[in-house]
Structure 1
Amino acid sequence: MATVPLSSAAGRWIMISAIMASAMAFIDGTALNVVLPSIQKSMHASGTDLFWILNAYLLMLAALMLIGGSLGDRLGRKRVFIAGILIFIAGSAACGIAGDVTLLILFRMLQGIGGALMIPGSLSLISSSIHEKERGKAIGTWSAFTTVVTIGGPVLGGALADAGYWRYIFFINVPIGIVAVLILWRKVKESVDDTQDKTLDFAGAFSIAAGLAAVTFGFLRIPDTGFNNWQVLLSLGLGVLLLIIFVIIERRSPHPMMPLSLFKNMTFSGANLLTFFLYAGLSAGMLFLSLNLVQVQGYDQLQSGLTFLPFTILMVLVARFAGTLADRYGPRLLLTIGPAIAGAGLLILSFIKQTPGPGAYFTTFFPGIVVFGLGMSFTVAPLTATVMGAVSDHYSGTASGINNALSRIAGVFANAIFGAMAVLFFSGFLQRELPALSLKEQDRKEVVQQAAELGNARPPAVLNEADSKKVRQLYHDSFIDAYGKIMRISGVLGFLGALMAVLFVRNSAVTTTKQD
């Protein structure tokens, strides 16, 4: 397949369209974490509702991104990319006008369908269209400029949420998407692999979508019903069975959406395992950090968004440089030290207790965010280049789809599992400390029932002012305890990602070994 130099006019238009479309997804993700408290208050959403608002989108991404990558390889990467953008901006506009939590969750699913077609398309266009020797640099450029475009996401999200306009976060995607579609339509040539069979793997798509939905539902029910409830056990059992069936389908299918032969390349497998562990830690860490800042530490949502600027600036400054280093020396060392540094940053953040507020930011949260951001900056571009470079060009969309799907599956599992764990940690601490308060038994039960709300828990209205103050402080202490445990587990996941690079990633597999 013909490729073009990164510096050519064709190369620049490919990069601009890929960056703009990807930026929509990143703006949506980074801004949404910041505005979740406003959504919870405005729509009277429960803690479980919040996790579903996040997971409805991630679930559709994880379930359909594999087939999205395959569609691009088979039907044309530009064509599928444009279709994904159009669906995504339609879903975004619908989210902006959603009248209740249920509709918002449904429209987030529509966004996820569009993202599943759009996100693999951006990287597969780059991988299949840019000269191989410049691929790492191109992906590093994509990482850096996408971050530049999305640098205002948390800040703008916080400002709009504080002003009561959180819905406008979703409308931001519409003009960006329209411009990206116009550029693709007018300036970018179609990229399609004519050697690919055009048959689609619908059985595989259904089994993984249903399996992930069942597993996620099971974990989200644990805080309300306990692990031994029949709904939880049935959902988890059915989900695991469907995921096993998915693997069997992919092994036997003549047209698999996830060719298992790709995983014979240990570097490809290791890079995807690294992705799973690291992005699970990233998803849980960023979510609970955002909730902690706003609901417990006293930051407003604009201030919460500004706390992530060091992370973003480091991504801008380091990502392209890291991609160039990976091209020159190979990705293995960077993929070892990057996740380890990111894990260390999450561990640093885990030991922060109650702080005086935003005025103490630079002596509390700032060091951990800088270390975490540095680790991610050294990881993102080399990791993506490794995944794309470990397979042959005609599998570029599929490889991108697999890697992006795993990062979203990691996010789904992290939000569902860590959300359930956070409620258990929260209620466990609450029940240990509650006997020290002289409350009636019925009042204690009502206090514990608020555990599912986490940082948004409110004392029962029947309590007097003195007891309400004590309970409010106990809720804060319970959340900080749960937050610390979640962040430490997230840090360990970063170290597991580094271990995957040590065990499996080989520079030679990226530069010379190609899957057919």
Structure 2
Amino acid sequence: MSSTSVDHSGAPARPDVRPPAPGRLRSNPWLTLCAVAFGLFMVQLDASVVAIANPAIGADLSASTAQLQWVTNSYLLALAATLILGGKLGDRFGRRAFYLVGVAGFALASVAIGLAGSIEGVIAFRALQGVFGGLLMPNTLGLLRAVFPPRKFAMAVGIWAMVSAVSTALGPIVGGLLIEHVDWESVFYINLPIGVIAFAFSALVLPQSKNSTGHHRFDVPGVVLLASGLLAVVLGVVKGETWGWASGGTWGAILLGVLVLVAFGWYETRIEHPLLPMRLFRSSALTVGAIITALNFFVMLGGVFFIMLYLQNVRGFTPVEAGVRTLPLSLASLVASPLGAALTQRFGARRCMPVGMLLQAAACFGMLTWSTDSSYATMWPPFIALGLGVGMVMAASSDAIVGNAPVGDGGVAGGLQATTLQIGGALGTSVLVSVISAEVGATLRGELSAAGVPGTVAAGLAEAKDAVAMGVAPVSGSMPAQLRAAVVEGSGQAFMNGMHTALVVTGVLCLVGVVLAAVGIRTDSADRSH
């Protein structure tokens, strides 16, 4: 079989899902949903807990700011490079097997992080965590796609999205409690009992699920091209705030990655068994769903990042107190994900995705009323709107991507969805931090002067714009009380200027998403193949 022959059939490989006879554990799709929910919960909880743990890791291991960034970046890079590959491996050789390998490997890598004893070890094992996460995540959706009938798949995805949203939102509370009462290592050790339960239960109930494709050459060049392109793009994105968004390094990495991805797309059309079948993108619902997924997590993760800075550094709440105050967001996501799935099943993604993006836009514009001393009454309504919007979009876009892919490509579609999710989240955090930093740099000196800080002192403190962009006022114990209060007031106002600018950016992007979802999806189910 030639490796450069063109796939003229356009037909997906025949799925091979062989559960035991009815009445056995592995014949129950809802038990499959419960099993993959354990693994998904572990990965998503870990992703949001680490942000809370970073300061403690830095203090204990004497890590520099650049090293702490790599605690997050090494994970993101490894995850982005392996998600689609993990889905393809599951489709080809067995989704159950690769999901179980991902669960076990993720849990063990988590323990290794806690035992590492050095920042270099933490970074290395975080990258390994990302690799196993790339095996685990896409196969959760691939397994659901294989076992649920079309009429129930949307509801299953809604519950999947609910688990994802709630575990992400619970991260700051769980992480804050563990760091305050145990140590930062416990943030990673907690994955071991979750992983053991997930592995044991999944081994018992998950059905065998893979494609019957016969013997053919695995697309190794496609793996190399895709991994290289994604690594370059994500590297440029996550380092954009550090290198500068106008720097040659940032745009060189991003443009190189885009060119490699274009070459990957061209190559995939030339082989018979591609890693990522380009025919998937013939579905307008799948294509738009992937874009909206990236936009959804741009808003969600970028927004939560600066909301936590506001609550902890500007308002002075502890991580646990800040997490409790964001509970309306978690609870709204809990409601919105299954509700969004039910609405998607009834009305289609073309109607539900715009509604979800409108709710997020309303949340962003509602947060423009926040100040350095806003009451909680002004906070919880935007939290609810954001949670409802994110949950609805997550359910609708997941159904649009995985539901519109053939069953045989369920793992690859899951990998595509997870990849766009991760890139969107990385972009959201990096771009919005840069937006806040730029606005703080432009307004800090003026705000300090307006608060009563003498001109020469304000000029000197303006050099601390990076700290102020994180919500930290550049004060010292030796400052007179009146000057200290003025610096806190001016710095807080400068941060709010940056946060408001970021909110305008996210709000406008949400409105763009409304239009794209409404006009870009021609059908919701015409391309589905079962």
TM-score interval for Structure 1 and Structure 2 normalised by the shorter chain: 0.7 to 0.9
Match of residue 419, structure 2, among 405, 410, 421? 405
8 A Cα contact 1:77 1:191, kept in partner: yes
Partner in structure 2 of residue 454 of structure 1: 469
CA contact 2:293–2:417 (8 Å) conserved in 1? yes
Q: Which residue of 1 aligns with 2:224?
A: 206
What's the offset of the Cα at 1:15?
Answer: 1.4
Choose the corresponding residue for 1:478, options 478, 484, 494.
Answer: 494
Distance 1:315 1:226 in 2: 34
Q: How many angstroms does 1:6 deviate by?
A: 12
Cα 1:223/1:405, change in 2 over 3 Å: closer
1:60 pairs with 2:75: no
Residue identity matched to 1:474 = G
The count of aligned residue pairs is 509
Contact 1:338 1:374 in 2 (8 A): yes
Seq. identity, %: 25
Change (3 A) 1:495 1:61: farther
Asked if structure 2 preserves the Cα contact closer than 8 Å seen for 1:6 and 1:138, the reply is no
SS in 2 for 1:391: coil
**Equivalent-residue separation in structure 2 for 1:196 and 1:463 (angstroms):** 74
Given candidates 318, 321, 325, the residue that maps to 1:300 is 318
Q: TM-score, normalised by structure 1?
A: 0.88
Q: Alpha carbons of 1:324 and 1:303: their partners in 2 closer, same or farther (altered >3 Å)?
A: same
Cα separation, partners in 2 of 1:463 and 1:112, compared to 1, 3 Å = same
Q: Return the alpha-carbon distance in structure 2 between the equivalents of residues 246 and 336 of structure 1.
A: 31
| 1:372-415 residue CA offsets vs partner (Å, 9 max, x unmatched) | 11212322222212212212111111111111111111112222
Matching of residues 97-112 of structure 1 within 5 Å: 97-112=115-130
- TM-score for the superposition, normalised by structure 2: 0.86
Match of 2:12 in 1: none
- Which residue in 2 is equivalent to 1:387? 401
CA–CA separation in structure 1 for the residues paired with 2:485 and 2:501: 25
Q: Of 313, 317, 338, which aligns to 2:356?
A: 338
- 2:138 pairs with one of 120, 125, 130: 120
Letter in 2 for 1:245: A
Once the two structures are superposed, residues 223-273 of structure 1 have per-residue CA deviations (whole angstroms, 9 ceiling, x without a partner) of 555455454454344334333333333333443322222111111111111
Alignment of 1:84-483 (within 5 A): 84-145=102-163, 152-163=170-181, 165-195=183-213, 199-219=217-237, 223=241, 226-227=244-245, 229-355=247-373, 360-361=375-376, 363-433=377-447, 437-438=453-454, 444=459, 447-449=462-464, 451=466, 454-455=469-470, 457=472, 459=474, 464-465=479-480, 467=483, 469-483=485-499
- C-alpha distance 201-12 of structure 1, shift in aligned 2 (>3 A): same
For the residue of structure 2 that corresponds to 1:192, the secondary structure is strand
CA offset digits 1:406-448 (Å, max 9, x no partner): 111111222233233332222222244467744659x945751
Q: Secondary structure at the match of 1:252?
A: coil
Of stretches 142-151 and 152-161 in structure 1, the one that deviates more from structure 2 is: 142-151
Are the structure 2 counterparts of residues 149 and 282 from structure 1 closer, same or farther at C-alpha, using a change threshold of 3 Å? closer
**SS of residue paired to 1:137:** helix
**Partner letter of residue 60 of structure 1?**
A
C-alpha distance in structure 2 between counterparts of 1:318 and 1:145, whole Å: 11
Letter paired with 2:466: A
Whether the 8 Å contact between 1:51 and 1:419 is mirrored in structure 2 is no
Give the Å deviation of 1:327: 2.1
Structure 1: distance between partners of 2:257 and 2:264: 11
- Structure 1 residues 386-395 or 410-419, which shifts more? 410-419
Contact 2:311–2:317, Cα closer than 8 Å, also in 1: yes
Give 1:371 shift. 1.0
Report the CA distance between 1:340 and its aligned residue: 1.3
Deviations 1:318-363 (A, max 9, x none): 322332232233232111201211221122124312026xxx32x1
Deviates more, 1:232-241 or 1:86-95: 232-241
C-alpha deviations, 1:31-66, integer Å up to 9, x for none? 334445545555566665555433332232222111
Which residue of structure 2 lines up, in the alignment, with residue 489 of structure 1?
Answer: 505
Distance 1:489 1:277 in 2: 12
In structure 2, give the amino acid aligned to 1:210: S
- SS of 2:89's equivalent? helix
* Closer/same/farther in 2, CA of residues 457 and 447 from structure 1, 3 Å limit: farther
Mapped contact 2:468–2:494 kept (Cα < 8 A): no
Return the offset for 1:75: 0.9
Code of the residue aligned with 1:209 in structure 2: it is A
Question: Aligned-residue CA RMSD in angstroms?
Answer: 3.2
Counterpart Cα distance in 2 of 1:322 and 1:174? 32
Report the residue type matching 2:213 in the other structure: T
Specify whether residues 444 and 463 from structure 1 end up closer, same or farther in structure 2 by C-alpha distance, changes over 3 A only. farther
Change (3 A) 1:393 1:225: closer
Structure 2 vs 1, CA of residues 52 and 30 (structure 1 numbering), >3 Å: closer, same or farther? same
> Deviations 1:184-225 (Å, cap 9, x if unpaired)?
223322101112765443333333433344344445555555
User: Which one-letter code corresponds to 1:239 in the other structure?
Assistant: G
The 1:38/1:498 distance shift into structure 2, 3 A limit, reads farther
Letter in 1 for 2:102: G
Q: How far does residue 450 in structure 1 lie from its aligned partner after superposition?
A: 5.1
SS where residue 355 of structure 1 aligns? coil
Shift of 1:18: 0.6
Query: Partners of 1:413 and 1:476 in 2: how far apart?
Result: 25
Task: Provide the rounded CA distance (Å) in 1 between the counterparts of 2:491 and 2:109.
Answer: 36
How much does 1:458 deviate? 5.7
Tell whether the 8 Å contact from 1:64 to 1:209 is kept in structure 2 after alignment: yes
| Change beyond 3 A, Cα 1:461–1:150 | closer
Change (3 A) 1:39 1:352: farther
- 2:9 corresponding residue in structure 1: none
Alignment CA distance shift 1:224-1:195 (3 Å) = closer
Residue identity matched to 2:513? G
1:499 correspondence with 2:526: no
Contact between 1:143 and 1:381, CA under 8 Å: does it hold in 2?
A: yes
Unaligned runs of 5+ in 1: none
CA contact (8 A) 2:293 2:393 kept: no
